Amino acid sequence: MTAPEFDAAFRDEFRTLLRWRRDVRRFRRDHVPQALLTELFALADLAPSVGLSQPWRFVTVADPQRRAAIRANFACENALALGALSDERAAIYARLKLAGLDAAPVQFALFSDPDPAQGHGLGRRTMPETLAFSSVMALHTLWLAARTMGLGLGWISILNPDAARGVLDVPQAWDFIGYFCLGWPEQACETPELEREGWERRRAGEVVER
């Protein structure tokens, strides 16, 4: 087989995709077709994983009671986060809509299996955390794929992981990676919301030579 060649035009489009990937906080309530969701999770399976273990475990959440419990979990942790900030930061934080939990039509959690049979243990004896890293790679692959379909993804990190695991009734051993909202963004803007609101700005990453 001949490997595909990605020309300059493709690379420019890919750069645009990376620039427009967003942590979306404001969603329309429009339905997301099941066919799109099926395709997204299939594309996530193309992500790299240590030993080809594919340790990611996606759990879709449609049950209203489970969603309400996750929302309550968020509200509790969000209040604690707000109280821990300086007055200046708290004022910015209060303006941000940090959850799409009320409007996003699709919600799912991501877990990582710490001891998957697949992969036969290759590559993780000294660094078992590579399983969680692999799961995040699957999430990022899904995130970029969602953007190509016009969908937005929001990562809800302000949660108590143990409480979330209990609400979703998954194996106790699974590592909680995050909870996500997916849907059609309410608005489009090239500048990330956190940057627009003055919370932080993007900087060039540090590359150290040894």
**CATH number of residue 126's parent domain:** 3.40.109.10
Residue 159 in domain = yes
Residue 10 in domain = no
Residue 184 in domain = yes
Residue 74 in domain = yes
Domain that holds residue 29: 24-195
Q: Is the pLDDT of residue 82 over 90?
A: no
* pTM for the whole structure: 0.93
Total domains in the fold of the chain: 1
Q: What string of H, E and C letters represents the secondary structure of 53-76? A: CCCEEEEECCCHHHHHHHHHHHHH
Residue predicted with more confidence, 94 or 37: 37
Q: Which residues pair with 107 in a beta bridge?
A: 181
In angstroms, the CA 124 to CA 54 distance is: 13
Residue 146 in domain = yes
Q: How many distinct helices (H) and strands (E) make up the chain?
A: 7, 4
Helix axes 64-83, 87-95, angle to 10 degrees: 150
Residue 29 in domain = yes
Residue 2 in domain = no
Mean pLDDT of 148-154: 96
Q: Which residues pair with 179 in a beta bridge?
A: 109, 156
Residue 169 in domain = yes
In angstroms, the CA 47 to CA 33 distance is: 23
List pLDDT tens digits, range 60-81.
Answer: 999 999 999 999 999 999 999 9
